[in-house]
Structure 1
Amino acid sequence: MGKTLIVAEKPSQAREYATALGVRGKGDGYLENEHYVITWCYGHLLELERPEAYMDLNRVGKRWSLSRLPVLPSLNQFRRVVKSGAVKQYQVIQRWLKSLDIETVICGTDADREGQLLFQEVWDASLCTKPLSRLWISSLTTAAIREGMERLRSADSVAGLAAAGNGRAYADWDFGMNLTEGFTSLFGSFDAVRKKPNVISIGRVQTPTLALIVEREWEIERFISQPYYEVRAEFATTQGDYPGKWFDPSEESKRITSSQDAEDIVGKTQGKQGKISKMEQKDVQEPAPLLFDLTSLTIAASKKYGLSAEKVLQLAQSLYEKKAITYPRTDCAYLSEDLVPKLPEHLKAVRHEPYTNLVDEAGHLGVPKGKRVINTITAHHAIIPTTEKVAVERLNFEEKKLYDLIVRRFLAVWFPPARYHQTDVVTEVEGESFRTKGKVLLSLGWKKVYGSDELDEGAVRKSKKKDDSEQADDENATLPPLSKGEDVRTKHVYSVEKTTKPPKRYTQGDLLKAMEGAGKQIDDEVLRQQIKGKGLGTVATRPAIIESLIDRGYILQEQKALKPTEKGAELIRIIKERLPQAQLLISAEMTGQMEFNLSKVEKGELTIGRYMADVEEAIGLIIEELRSFEQKHGKLPLALAPTIQVKGVGKGKEKEAKTAQKKPKKVQHSAQADGVEKDTIKGVASKGHAEGLGTCPKCGGDVIEGQKGFGCARWREGCRFVLWKTPICGKELTPNQIKSLLKKGKTPLIKGFKSKSGKSFAAYLIWDNQIEAKLKFEFEKK
């Protein structure tokens, strides 16, 4: 009997399969025993060929221009080539797919659209006709893997998923390759500072996301602050005092816009007798927040710990691979009915400090079964702890933070709602009405999981000390015993001048909400679950889109706020004001509809051919519009991307020093579309010392010195970690400094840095983003 070949997404996943299935034999690029061969990809081993492969370059030339466009291969014309550095592993997979020793094949990549696509690419290239099955699991625990192997899905059941993956890849290629070349040839220029082209990158998801940020900035710029006035009062009763705020019963949202009107109310009511005209009291319940999907987890981690969207995804993936949590790239906040019997096992797995008492109490409360927990799911259920106990001490500091968020959110749904006693009081004085709201906590319920000082997005809000006048707004004023019809005395009335505030800039968390809602920032967590599928991108791709906008010089992040650069704003302005056909590129609704159409391809409700026909039609119209613009106006270079600054630590320190630790991009003749941009890492590890300087933060390999930088020795296998030798403020890093950085997280104190103003300074270099090899300064504490 022949063996079964399992193709995993990455080596770590393959090792978990091997452990669960008792596969111990090791080969070059695979694991093997008498029943199974387990091999792996490194993400996508293949990539779509560049546009030039479909052109007659002798006729159209090598220089980017509108005359070469559009390039729109038909579905059967798209060709893929093996990525640089992936040839060896690709050959291993192909050899096993074609081996006579293999009888059946199992796709064991991540159970999502991209996971299906990266397997489909190597499967289609092999022309293999052996029986194919799909392993579909939501965690990498031994129990989940074995259960999944007993319930394999047919290849036909995921054919739509593979088609949608190809549709996403082809559409991104068409948009990115054609329109990046088209816009760059018309609006690009040569960046003399960076000595490379100023590429005008266009992407199916990237560009409408940029438009959200730019249009928010325009709202802020156009905003004219208006003054308004609040009239507040303090009332006295025999049982105690309480605050109130004036309102108009006929139009509760009405504001006082005249200082004289406010003073008239103050004068009219000051010191006068009043009466409680309305008194409503009721008990209200606040249910536990929904379980986490990736977006809500990112928002919570961003608010509480300041983590970027990309960092949260990276940490969540690491926790998944360590079997601490279930599959993280999910857009669902519910669990399925068949998980109910297993929930006690998930609960038992987190019975360790600091959760022991909470787990014991939750166990006595019974398994949660309400619709806020058990409901219809999408491809994967909500993110929860797995059934395996986690060695928490083996998690790094940031992983522990994220794990804690997930565990506490999971524990919260076992507990009953928090209960409040809510009071609504209206006091009338000389015909003027004042409202007071009070809210008293009766039972903590699920809030016991967090404690009074914890902050969790959508859950517990940290209390802030406020005076009584401000508490009237916050619905938590402390009220003495009151009764309807009771007479009260107006102790003090005064007016407060306020001004209307402009909308706030997006944070990464806010932007994720807006992307999920196709431009509409929806705060209601249940409503967000109901509109899944029409957002910008997917939960897995949105963090990378935000990072790419920063990397390509379209936006900046200042503290937590995202704001557009001149380059980003100019691109959106020219599309919005002068390119009507191209406006679909900045339409969140249109891009959301395309994402929704991809889900229809996945379900078999729309053919990939019809989907691509719509894409091609839109691109053809935009290219024609660019040609017309060029004929009328000629070329119109947009602003260059700004110089990136390293932010210093501590007051009075030099904060103007430029960082050179961003990877050089090969941009000439390179369309930087969503999902197609690729950094080249030539020269790293090609020459120089072969001595290992430390452990690669990205894949665990050795970091060695190359001709142009300090890079991972596994770069041929796909690892792109590299610290370039480009001088930072006049100083080039040495091997010993790199050793210290990799081992301790910081270099020794380096003297002789030169700031932009020419001032010399000393500083340590520490990680700003370890995985992306980005550094920042840390100054000596004096």
Structure 2
Amino acid sequence: MHLIIAEKHIAAKRIAAILAPKKPKKVRVSGVDTYEYEDNEDDKIVMGLSGHIVELDFPKEYNNWQKVNAEDLIDAELITKPTQVKIVAALKKLGKKASKVTIATDYDGEGELIGVEALDIIKKVNQDIQFDRVKYSAITEKEIKNAFSNPVNVDFNLADAGHSRQVIDLVWGASLTRYISLSAGRLGKMFLSVGRVQSPTLALIVDREKEREAFVPDPYWEVYATLANSNGEEFVTQHKTQRFWDKNQVNSVVDKLKDCKTAEVTSVEKSTKQDKPPSPFNTTEFISAANSVGFTASNAMRIAETLYTNGYISYPRTDNTVYPDSLDLRNLIAMFKSGQFKQYAQYLLNKSNLVPTRGKKETQDHPPIYPTSAAKKSELNEDEWKIYEMVVRRFFATFADPAKWETMKVKFDIGSEEFRAKGARLISPGWRWFYPYNSPEDKILPPLKKGEVLTVKSSKVADKETQPPGRYGQGRLVRIMEELGLGTKATRHEIISKLFSRAYVHSNPLQPTKTAFAVIDALENYAPTITKHEMTSKLEEDMEKISEGKIKEDEVLKESRDMLKSMFSELESNRDNITQSLRNGLREDKVIGTCPECESRLMVRRSKRGSRFIGCDGYPDCTFSLPLPKSGQIIVTDKVCEDHGINHIRVNIPGKRPWNLGCPHCNFIEWQKEQENNKNKQKDTTPKSITEINGIGKVTAEKLENAGVSSVEELANADAVELSKQTNLSVKKIKNWQEYVA
């Protein structure tokens, strides 16, 4: 029996459907779905894993944070334990019977390691098993059949590189996280996460925020004049000195403009410029593009992974920006001759020469991201379609002509002062027709010629200030991480996602919380190596050398442990300072404003029962308080309520969109109003007479009146048992009416 192992169940199902001569048979093995078929009298079984089915961990004796020093984790011997018990059992059962195993997991360091993990499990029950590997970049019929016709050897060096990354990230993350969390006194769910890649990335965000806070704006002025031609067409011009730093110069210009009623065109310069088509998508460019249209890095990659496993796009984890010669590009475009993209496909197919753009990075593992099959909109959900459409359009754009713009630069004389205006008009959309995202708009000027005299309709001075450097958006941060060697194409989006989950950042562009400031300040002041990219990028380079067979894994793991020990030496020599810095910083993280009653600090607090609330630092003399949601991480933002001087709050709940609570005081006031309105509504719907009560008709009302009950109040106060005897109405009915009235 020949066992084929894919990385996920959906990939296994698709591979089996492609390879089987007829529909494969679904068979459940140890609770796991597998797909069986016969090919050339050979029984074949395809099964999917669930990513990593085993994980590295520390032995149980290292789990007690209070008894085991964080530094002891560095040299601890790691153990491997199963995370998917059913899949491991199925592997062992099938592996015993198999004569051959083919690893068909995704082809990258992570996929190779996942495949080798499965192979190691099988080898324990079948030492003599034969095995090989297939490599593919898309789960399509052509790619899969070609891969299985040309198997290769398992790349154990690549798997070792992936394994070394697991070991290094676990040991660094666990030891540093334990040390910093214990120092800060932040244990349980609110522990402080520290990591080899995570911390330098967070430092980038915090350092940018510090630049913004330290930024001192400089005032400057811009002078504009609105002109009109003889047809009444108006447009705006700007003084040739785009920014005036001296107010006296501005006043001098304004004085000259006061009596000017006309402006003369002194020069008109027309030209055309080309806007080159974009390069093919690699992972970084894809994340950046998806982020610009509203997708977070992690969400974009999750959707891309789904599209890949369903056969719609190629493998989304790639550094490559050059299509390989092996791709039949014309045939790929021809897939779209019918359907939503047919006009674009037909246009390209009519070109005599299809030459795609080439990016700066060319690798041999996977091609750039491209569409592998034509999808219908009805086959995908809304977000999947948006990502798929973007990939298709980007693919088309790489074969398109440059966009062409007609530009116009005009100079004007207004009271001996030179003003200027620029116009631009898209005359040939080229690639922008295929890929319309974030396109610049035309800026049209009316026809103008040298010597023409125009009317000055108005002039104005704009008071402005220089702006601080912008925060990093997720797309931009991924680019910077790539440039600095932080993480890999497969992990960068996960690092950003982790920063959100640990309440270190919020919003997009990314804004650090006070917790992030506390952690990075303590590390930068007393153990700065942890926050620098040089250390982690050096390890990334060495892990790459493992995959190339230039260095052994043990050498890199020793180097990593030595680095970590030197950092702990740094930490230990500054233990008291780090503890003080963290605790001071984290206390500030709980401050949300000033108490309106006594002007003490308002803090996020916990009651003796564990519930959260906002309380005054002046307690017990001051008892002012505000409620907080029962669950979710509380993030204090820098936005302050104008009415109450209290910071706005966001609530992070795992698996859900963050909830912007806003000002807690405003929120509480609105809640009180809502409660009062509900009471008033209830009063408005209270029956005024007995006959307004549902179920009391004319006959019943007469019975009640004969018993001395003629008003709602009398009914509410009556003895239900006694009234039942007098009216022959059931006690239950009477009590229901009384409850309704109450």
* Structure-2-length-normalised TM-score: 0.72
- The one-letter amino acid of 2:387's match is L
- Equivalent residue number for residue 103 of structure 2: 107
Partner residue in 1 for 2:81: 81
CA RMSD of aligned residues (A): 3.6
Pairing 1:194-343 to 2, within 5 Å after superposition: 196=188, 198-234=190-226, 243-248=236-241, 255-268=243-256, 271=260, 279-304=268-293, 306-339=294-327, 342-343=328-329
Alpha carbons of structure 1 residues 660 and 129: separation in structure 2 relative to 1, 3 Å: farther
Amino acid aligned to 1:658: P
Give the partner amino acid of 1:356.
Answer: K
Aligned partner of 1:403 among 381, 388, 391: 388
Task: Please state how far the C-alpha of 1:500 moved relative to its aligned partner.
Answer: 1.6
Deviation at 1:573, TM superposition (A): 0.8
Q: Distance in 1 between matches of 2:312 and 2:66?
A: 48
**C-alpha distance 400-117 of structure 1, shift in aligned 2 (>3 A):** same
Q: Is the 8 A contact 2:239 2:418 kept in 1?
A: yes
Q: Which whole-Å CA distance do the structure 1 matches of 2:68 and 2:669 have between them?
A: 43
Aligned equivalents of 1:504 and 1:351: distance in 2? Answer: 43
* Helix, strand or coil at the partner of 1:595: helix
Quote the Cα distance in structure 2 between the aligned partners of 1:625 and 1:310: 34
Partner residue, 2:447: 480
Residue deviations 1:142-169 (CA, integer Å, cap 9, x gap): 22100111222222xx333212201211
Structure 2 residue corresponding to 1:17, chosen from 11, 15, 18: 15
Counterpart CA distance in 1 for 2:676 and 2:79 is 53
Aligned residues: 597
For the structure 1 residues 589 and 722, does the alpha-carbon distance in structure 2 shift closer, same or farther, using more than 3 Å as the test? Answer: closer
Q: 2:43 aligned with 1:44, yes or no?
A: no
In the TM superposition, what is the alpha-carbon distance from 1:272 to its structure 2 partner?
8.4
Q: 1:272 to 1:160 in 2, by over 3 A?
A: farther
Bigger RCO (CA 8 Å, 6+ sep):
1
Q: Residue 66 of structure 2: which of 64, 67, 73 is its match? A: 64
Q: Contact 1:14 / 1:40 at 8 angstroms: preserved in 2?
A: yes
Deviation at 1:236, TM superposition (A): 6.5
Distance 1:143 1:241 in 2: 60
Shift of 1:317: 1.4
Q: Partner of 1:660 in structure 2?
A: 631
Larger of the two Rg values belongs to structure: 2
State the Cα distance separating 1:382 from its structure 2 match. Answer: 1.7
Take 2:578 and 2:249, find their aligned partners in 1: how far apart are those partners?
Answer: 55
1:168-218 CA-partner distances (Å, limit 9, x unpaired): 11110121111111112212335xxxxx36412111121122212222222
Superimposed CA distance per residue, residues 664-690 of structure 1 (whole angstroms, 9 cap, x where no aligned partner): xxxxxxxxxxxxxxxxxxxxxxxxxxx
Residues 700-719 of structure 1 mapped to structure 2, 5 A cutoff:
none
Shift of 1:374: 10
* Letter in structure 2 aligned against 1:24: P
Partner-residue secondary structure (3-state), 2:586: coil
| AA in 2 matched with 1:189 | R
Between the aligned partners of 1:41 and 1:761, the Cα distance in structure 2 is 56
* Structure 2 unaligned blocks of 5 or more: 591-603, 606-610, 612-625, 634-653, 662-667, 679-742
Alignment of 1:302-451 (within 5 A): 302-304=291-293, 306-339=294-327, 342-366=328-352, 368-372=354-358, 376-386=362-372, 388-427=373-412, 432-450=417-435
Structure 2: which amino acid aligns with 1:406? V
1:548 aligns with 2:498: yes
Distance in 2 (alpha carbons) for counterparts of 1:432 and 1:517 = 45
Q: Secondary structure at the match of 1:353?
A: coil
1:188 touches 1:197 (CA, 8 Å); kept in 2? no
Q: Distance in 2 between matches of 1:257 and 1:389?
A: 57
What corresponds to 1:743 in structure 2?
none
Whole-Å separation in 1 of the counterparts to 2:671 and 2:353: 61
Structure having the higher helix fraction is 2
> For 1:728-767, what aligned pairs fall within 5 Å after superposition?
none
Q: Give identity over the alignment, percent.
A: 26
Partner of 1:153: 152
**TM-score, normalization by structure 1:** 0.69
Residues 1:511 and 2:497 aligned together: no
* Aligned partner of residue 299 in structure 2, secondary structure: helix
**Structure 1: distance between partners of 2:382 and 2:476:** 25
- 307-316 vs 5-14, greater mean Cα deviation: 307-316
Task: Give the CA deviation at 1:32.
Answer: 2.9
C-alpha contact 1:331 1:378 (8 A) present in aligned 2? no
The aligned amino acid for 1:543 is H
Cα distance, 1:187–1:517 mapped onto 2, change above 3 Å: same
Q: Secondary structure at the match of 2:320?
A: coil
Between the aligned partners of 2:536 and 2:161, the Cα distance in structure 1 is 15
Q: Deviations over 1:477-528 (max 9, x none)?
A: 4142334xx465673544221122223333333333333333xxxxxxxxxx
The residue type equivalent to 1:185 in the other structure is L
Aligned-residue offset at 1:631 = 5.6
Q: CA 1:440 to 1:198, structure 2 compared with 1: closer, same or farther past 3 Å? A: closer
Alignment CA distance shift 1:223-1:88 (3 Å): same
CA shift digits 1:345-367 (9 cap, x unpaired): 32232334321222222211256
- Does residue 538 (structure 1) correspond to residue 488 (structure 2)? The answer is yes
With over 3 angstroms needed to count, the CA separation of the structure-2 counterparts of 1:631 and 1:151, relative to structure 1, is same
Tell me what 2:618 maps to: none
Match of residue 601 from structure 2: none
Partner of 1:735: none
Instruction: Provide the rounded CA distance (Å) in 2 between the counterparts of 1:261 and 1:585.
Output: 50
Asked if 2 retains the 8 angstrom alpha-carbon contact of 1:335 and 1:373, the reply is no
Alignment partner of 1:500 is 2:466 = yes
Q: Distance in 1 between matches of 2:467 and 2:398?
A: 36
SS at match of 1:179: helix
1:680-716 CA-to-partner distances (Å, cap 9, x unmatched) read xxxxxxxxxxxxxxxxxxxxxxxxxxxxxxxxxxxxx
Aligned-partner Cα distance in 2 for 1:367–1:107: 39
Q: Which secondary structure does the structure 2 equivalent of 1:365 belong to?
A: coil
Could you give the per-residue CA deviations for residues 117-145 of structure 1, whole angstroms, max 9, x where no partner exists? 11222323536454432211111112210
For residues 464 and 314 of structure 2, the distance between their equivalents in structure 1, rounded to whole angstroms, comes to 48
Correspondence for 1:31 among 32, 35, 39: 35
Contact 1:327–1:380 (CA under 8 A) maintained in structure 2: yes
Cα distance change on mapping 1:234 and 1:322 into 2, 3 Å? same
Q: Please report how far the alpha carbon of residue 241 of structure 1 lies from its aligned counterpart in structure 2 after TM superposition.
A: 6.7
Residue pair 2:103, 2:133 contacting (<8 A) in 1 also: yes
Q: 1:258 to 1:378 in 2, by over 3 A?
A: farther
User: For the Cα contact (< 8 Å) 2:322–2:361, is it kept in 1?
Assistant: yes
2:553 aligned residue (589, 597, 608): 608
Name the amino acid aligned to 1:498.
Answer: K
Please give the secondary structure, in 2, of the residue aligned with 1:281.
strand
Shift of 1:632: 6.5
Report the Cα distance in structure 1 between the residues aligned to 2:573 and 2:228, rounded to whole angstroms: 74
| Equivalence map 1:131-210=2 (5 Å) | 131-155=130-154, 158-189=155-186, 196=188, 198-210=190-202
Q: Give the drift of 1:276.
A: 5.8
Bigger shift: residues 212-221 or 175-184: 212-221
- Cα separation, 1, equivalents of 2:146 and 2:669: 60
Query: Within 2, Cα distance between the matches of 1:499 and 1:4?
Result: 70
| Deviation of the 1:43 alpha carbon | 0.9
Structure 1 residue 758: Cα displacement: 11
Moved more, 284-293 or 110-119: 284-293
1:64, distance to aligned residue in structure 2 (A)? 3.4
Residue type matched to 1:547 in 2?
S
Distance 1:175 1:351, change over 3 A: same
Give the C-alpha shift of residue 228 in structure 1.
Answer: 0.6
Rate the CA distance shift 1:255–1:722 in 2: closer, same or farther, 3 A: closer
SS class of match (2:318): coil
